[in-house]
Amino acid sequence: MIYLDNNATTRVAPEVFEAMQPYLTDFFGNPSSAHTLGRTMKQAVEQAREHVAKLIGADDMSEITFTSCGSESDNWAIRAALASQPGKKHIVTTRVEHEAVRNVCRQLETEGYEVTSLDVNASGELNLDALRDALRADTALVSVMLANNETGVLFPINDIGEIVRERSDALFHVDGVQAVGKIPIDLMNVDLFALSGHKLHAPQGIGALYIRKGVSLPSFIIGGAQEHGRRAGTSAVPNIVGLGAACKLAHEDDDHSRIRALRDRLENGILQQIPNTRVNGHPENRLPNTSNISFEYIEGQNILLHLDQLGICVSTGSACHSTTHESSPTLHAMNIPYTAAQGSIRFSLGRYNTDEDIETTLSVLPGIIEKLAAMSPYDQELHANT
Ligand code: PLP
């Protein structure tokens, strides 16, 4: 198998698995228990918290709260930020957010909130003047992603946070799920920051929310006093240890220049060998591992299936759209023409990809596209007109 779908999820790193193993066998206690076993578990949780804090540059490890996933972190951040400012009913976000933010905002509209969704340009970038204009005295929250899951395009969260502070007293939430472990994180102007373990070689089912010191949020899950009373529920110690180990690994062993070189080799090879291809998203201002390429006039789903038959895993836009034929909202917001958006494939690389993976993919893709192009009604129309 050649796995080029690392923005969907990642393989658990051997170092992470090794760190978790004792907590799935001998160390099975509850970290809230007062006995030695419980205290050992608690120590492991706190060590993991330290690794997470270090990777994202939090000032203090108490600013990290463990959750079950990125979606929970995003939901909690948004709902709790609004609950803590009951008089304010305005939210600013963007048109290209992940469903974990977009669908919450959509629901909030039905609950009486006004949501301003900022546009992006053809490269997927935000217009900061539009952000300035959108901020109001009753803006409770600004919620934007750091890295787009489909195109990898990065939003300048430092500048955005500065504008939010200058122009309003809204809280600033960043969905950092796709960025953590791939690029350095700067939390200087950020109040709330969501991350998810399974995007950086920790297991599925663990996430975290950074809550800046001084920001007080109501709990999302009510119950016991775990996580300093911020998030009830017995801690998922093996997963928490896994997230800590993954953060440590990402901090100590950053091989993103290698991954970027592989991504560029793949991308340039495709653009050179295959006609009617284009990269969606800003060529430089994006994650080093992501390449979203449109194979115009060809159905992306068909490309995915042909690659899958050869053991090559990719996705069409966001994995969440893989069962529908709607164009992805992100590509739609970028004004990518329908025939190109439908033919978009997201290649997302990771630490276990090799030169050979890229060469193999480049050796089979032109043949697949040639075959599908011959069957494409658009392509036949194109040739009939030339
Ligand atoms: N935010 C972004 C940008 C994502 O890409 C994802 C997952 O794909 C999420 C949030 C949700 O994270 P999780 O799958 O951990 O719930």
pLDDT digits 0-9 by tens, 255-275:
899 999 999 999 999 999 999
* CA of 149, closest atom in ligand 1: 5
Burial of 269 (0-12, 13-18, 19+ CB in 10 A): middle
Any ligand 1 atom below 6 A from CB of 69: yes
When the pLDDT of each residue in the chain is averaged and rounded to a whole number, the result is 95
Any ligand 1 atom below 6 A from CB of 147: no
Of 69, 105, 313, 320, the active-site residue reads 320
- Tell how far the Cα of 336 is from the centroid of ligand 1, in angstroms: 23
Distance of alpha carbon 280 from alpha carbon 150, whole angstroms? 9
pLDDT class of 380 with cuts at 50, 70, 90: low
Can you give the pLDDT at residue 317? 65
Instruction: Decide if pLDDT at 154 tops 70.
Output: yes
- Tell how far the Cα of 193 is from the centroid of ligand 1, in angstroms: 12
Find the distance separating the first CA and the last CA of the chain, reported in whole Å: 40
For a substitution probing ligand 1, which of 66, 67, 105, 177 has the most ligand atoms within 8 Å of its CB?
Answer: 177
- Tell how far the Cα of 355 is from the centroid of ligand 1, in angstroms: 28
**pLDDT of 155-185, one tens digit each?**
999 999 999 999 999 999 999 999 999 999 9
Residues 201-238 as b/e (b if ≥16 CB within 10 A, e otherwise) read: bbbbbbbbbbbbeebebebbeeeeebbeebbeeebbbb
Can you give the pLDDT at residue 61? 97
What is the residue-wise DSSP string for 67-113? ESSHHHHHHHHHHHHHHT-TT--EEEEETT--HHHHHHHHHHHHTT-
Instruction: Decide if pLDDT at 208 tops 80.
Output: yes
Instruction: Decide if pLDDT at 364 tops 90.
Output: yes
Instruction: Decide if pLDDT at 148 tops 90.
Output: yes
Cα-based angle 373, 378, 382 (whole degrees, multiple of 5): 90
Can you give the pLDDT at residue 327? 76
| 320 belongs to the catalytic site | yes
Any ligand 1 atom below 6 A from CB of 207: yes
- Tell how far the Cα of 9 is from the centroid of ligand 1, in angstroms: 9
Instruction: Decide if pLDDT at 149 tops 90.
Output: yes
Any ligand 1 atom below 6 A from CB of 148: no
Strands 139-145, 64-67: pairing kind: unpaired
- Tell how far the Cα of 70 is from the centroid of ligand 1, in angstroms: 5
Distance of alpha carbon 186 from alpha carbon 183, whole angstroms? 10
Q: Phi and psi at residue 47, in whole multiples of 5°?
A: -65, -40
Any ligand 1 atom below 6 A from CB of 71: yes
Q: Phi and psi at residue 345, in whole multiples of 5°?
A: -125, 135
Can you give the pLDDT at residue 228? 92
pTM for this predicted structure: 0.96
- The percentage of the chain sitting over the pLDDT mark of 90, rounded to a whole number, equals 93
pLDDT class of 320 with cuts at 50, 70, 90: very low
For a substitution probing ligand 1, which of 99, 196, 198 has the most ligand atoms within 8 Å of its CB?
Answer: 196
Amino acid at 352: Y
Any ligand 1 atom below 6 A from CB of 104: no
Can you give the pLDDT at residue 319? 46
pLDDT class of 216 with cuts at 50, 70, 90: very high
3-class secondary structure, 180: coil
Can you give the pLDDT at residue 115? 98
Lookup: tokens for 174: 């960043």
Distance of alpha carbon 345 from alpha carbon 80, whole angstroms? 35
Instruction: Indicate the DSSP class of residue 139.
Output: E
The residue-averaged pLDDT of 79-104 equals 98
Lookup: tokens for 213: 């010191």
Which residues are registered as beta bridge partners of 209?
Answer: 65, 194
Signed CA dihedral, 17, 18, 19, 25: sign only: positive
Can you give the pLDDT at residue 13? 98
Whose C-alpha lies nearest to ligand 1, atom 13?
A: 70
Distance of alpha carbon 355 from alpha carbon 358, whole angstroms? 5
**pLDDT of 39-67, one tens digit each?**
999 999 999 999 999 999 999 999 999 99
Cα-based angle 266, 270, 273 (whole degrees, multiple of 5): 135
* CA of 145, closest atom in ligand 1: 3
Instruction: Decide if pLDDT at 309 tops 70.
Output: yes
Which residues are registered as beta bridge partners of 207?
Answer: 67, 196
Can you give the pLDDT at residue 96? 98
